[in-house]
A = this chain, B = another copy of it.
Amino acid sequence: MAAGSVRNSREDVIAVALRLLDETGLPDLTMRRLAAALDVQPSALYWHFTDKQTLLAAVSDRIIDRVPSVRPRDDEGWAELALAEARALRDALLSYRDGAELVASALALGLGADAARERLRAALGRGDFDAYIVDAGADAMLQFLLGHVAHEQQRMQADSLGVVASPHAVRAEDASGTVPSQGAAFDFGFTLLLDGLAKHVRSAAGPAGLTASVR
């Protein structure tokens, strides 16, 4: 079942791991199963990667690197661009089972996922911000992004397994009469961050006084 039936490159291992992730989910992506899918002994994987964490970080980076690049129109501001980047990242994470959880844990372990942060930082770079604001803003966006999508994916899986209807979902419907799409909820949360950042643009002073200052 391994592609060319000869020896595997590091790239092959990542590709098969990605396929296995999507087919079986993160908890079942074990070194032994991955080795079996590659028609190889488990120990062979340790020639390519020093340990499982490193392997998973590489898979995580592969997901991020595949995110199509967003080409900003010239008239597009930092906020529109950041939202476009966020949507592209979300789509990529959603396209693999447990994608968000994988990337989130690679990030939490301090490996990989840097490319994602860089894209968000670059988008904010279009605005006139202090460097500190760019850092903190990109960090906040990334944390929200990964956490939200991981939660989305967990609910998708729980629903598909026919678990009890979550009380949270019920409440959301009660409130508005119509249940908003997941994409809309994501956009809304992300836009909260963008609105908050807008206050910190250097050139155009913020809406002084209108918003309660909490510091």
Contact = CB atoms under 8 A, between A and B. Distances in A.
Interface in A113-146: 130-132, 135-137, 139-140, 142-144, 146
B214 A210 contact: no
A211 B195 contact: yes
Given A108-B101, A143-B144, A136 B166 contact: no
Interface string A182-211: 000101110111111111000010110011
Grouping DSSP codes into helix (H, G, I), strand (E, B) and loop, the A interface class, with mixed when no group exceeds half, is helix
B214 A79 contact: yes
Interface stretch (A12-20, A63-71, A151-159): A151-159
Interface stretch (A1-9, A30-38, A41-49, A172-180): A172-180
A181 to B, nearest CB: 12
A148 B154 contact: no
A180 B147 contact: no
Given A139-B148, A207-B207, A154 B108 contact: yes
6 contacts: A110-B166, A131-B174, A137-B189, A140-B144, A195-B211, A199-B211
Interface of A: 77, 79-80, 83, 101, 104, 107-110, 130-132, 135-137, 139-140, 142-144, 146-148, 150-151, 154-155, 158, 163, 166, 171-172, 174-176, 180, 185, 187-189, 191-199, 204, 206-207, 210-212, 214-215
